[in-house]
Amino acid sequence: MNEPIPMERPGPGPGRPLAIAALAAGVLGLLLVGGAGPGSKMGLWTWMDGLRSVLKYGAYLGVLAIVLAIAAMLVARRRAGRATLAIAAVGLLLGATAWWFPWSFRRHARSVPPIHDITTDWTNPPELVASRALRDSAQLNTALYGGDSIAALQRKAYPDIRPVMLAMRPDEAFAAVLRTVRDMGWTDIEAARDQNRVEAVDETPWFGFKDDVVIRVTPASGISRVDIRSVSRVGGSDIGKNADRIRKFTARLKENYKDRVADSQ
């Protein structure tokens, strides 16, 4: 008797390698994008390399993953490769995520002015004292305010950044400010009661950038005026972070002492 000829199992098809390559590119791209900040914090590379290189190449890998995944899907559809389609779909999703985050980050950066020093009083901004020596001795942004050119950019971009007026004595307002600083989770590095000034440091969660904040309380016609200044230690642009930090602080201060807020803003 003639023995039956064994049937050959169909191989994975030409789309499978493309799908696997898309998945690999998507995973690596997402790892680079997600690790750009933590790697900078751990000292694996500088913050500048993290922003300009690691993040960028992660986005490039994301685009590569998208292209490979689409190619794999086109091949797999013609050959009914469901498993290949699934792998390619995951690669496409990972690649799109790896590309989207740096793209949205860059778009947001371009939507705000390239400044890193925001204050509620641009004519007489609160002075950084505790962090001045650190800034003068390292490759950090200066503690000096940039003047009218910076103020003009801030007024146009962030017209809502205003001082808080509290119906309190200056010493009471100082205590309220200090409590709110600690509520925010900032590290207060100097609380000068004799000057009614608080300085603190806030660290961004992703890259771990340390930004300096100074809050000054001054008497104003029987009440107290609270001015805030937030300054990045590194980078030409803060991507809007300092303005956002001041907004959150003033909102928390007003919420904590809403019955003592003297202005309606």
Q: For the residues of 24-37, what is the DSSP string, one character each?
A: HHHHHHHHHHHHHH
| Token code pair at residue 36 | 């750009």
Q: Rounded CA gap, 49 and 54, in Å?
A: 6
- pLDDT per residue over 66-95, tens digit each? 999 999 998 877 665 788 899 999 999 999
- Angle of helix 241-256 relative to helix 170-183, nearest 10 degrees, comes to 120
How much is the pLDDT for 132? Answer: 81
DSSP 260: G
Position with higher pLDDT, 78 vs 114 = 114
Q: Rounded CA gap, 132 and 155, in Å?
A: 25
Look at residue 7 and tell me whether its pLDDT is greater than 60. no
Split at pLDDT 50, 70, 90, the class of 13 is low
How much is the pLDDT for 264? Answer: 47
Split at pLDDT 50, 70, 90, the class of 14 is low
Round to the nearest angstrom and report the end-to-end CA distance of the chain.
97
Look at residue 64 and tell me whether its pLDDT is greater than 80. yes
Q: Rounded CA gap, 152 and 148, in Å?
A: 6
Tell me what the pLDDT averaged over the chain comes to: 90
pLDDT, average across residues 36-60: 93
How much is the pLDDT for 80? Answer: 55
pLDDT, average across residues 114-129: 95
Could you tell me if 88 and 22 are in contact, meaning their C-beta atoms sit under 8 angstroms apart?
yes
| Token code pair at residue 194 | 């004799």
- pLDDT per residue over 216-246, tens digit each? 999 998 999 999 999 999 989 999 999 999 9
pLDDT, average across residues 202-206: 91
Could you tell me if 168 and 256 are in contact, meaning their C-beta atoms sit under 8 angstroms apart?
no
Identity at 146, one-letter amino acid code: G
Look at residue 2 and tell me whether its pLDDT is greater than 80. no
* % of the chain beyond a pLDDT of 70: 91
